[in-house]
Amino acid sequence: MPYTQLDAIDHSILNKLQKNGRLSNVQLAAEVGLSESACLRRVKILEESGVIDRYVMLISQTAIGKPDNVFVRVTLDGQQREKLAAFETDITRVSEVMECYLMSGDFDYLLRVITRDNTDYVRIHNKLTSLPGVMRVQSSFALRTVLDKTEMPLEI
């Protein structure tokens, strides 16, 4: 997706929606100083251009009984396109994996996994090590969350 040039009004719309994605168009228009039709048109353009990727609801990990984050470094037994593709397909089926990044450096993938506790992670670890092509798994438990943002910084 190409870079999209944003103006001050776009930034204002995006900042308001990042803070509260449930704002109605009427509320959003009033907050950014546009007519309702102009605001709706701007939001549609931001959606169609891909700047607004999707709308989501964030759930508290602690409230659902999965307060722990484990960062997992995965090394495959090869980096052929087929092996990478197979891992990427299979990892989407492990529901506790919240994020997965293909990395450069000493390992192939970095995962963020949510879990109830250490015992629960053993179960997840067994899933991860049984995926085809996985040669090594290294896990680091987060002791506490220092920063957890969902809002993207927008500069003009």
Secondary structure of residue 31 in the 3-state scheme: helix
Is the domain defined by 8-48 classed in CATH 3.30.460.10? no
Cβ proximity of 46 and 52 under 8 Å: yes
Q: Across all residues in the chain, what is the average pLDDT?
A: 96
Residues in the chain: 156
In this predicted model, what pLDDT tens digit does every residue of 56-92 receive, in sequence order?
Answer: 999 999 999 999 999 999 999 999 999 999 999 999 9
Q: Could you tell me the fold of the domain covering 68-141?
A: Alpha-Beta Plaits (3.30.70)
Question: What are all long-range contacts of 38-44, with beta carbons under 8 Å and residues at least 24 apart?
Answer: 39/13, 42/9, 42/10, 42/13, 43/13, 43/17
Where are the chain's structural domains? 8-48, 68-141
In this predicted model, what pLDDT tens digit does every residue of 4-37 receive, in sequence order?
Answer: 889 999 999 999 999 999 999 999 999 999 999 9
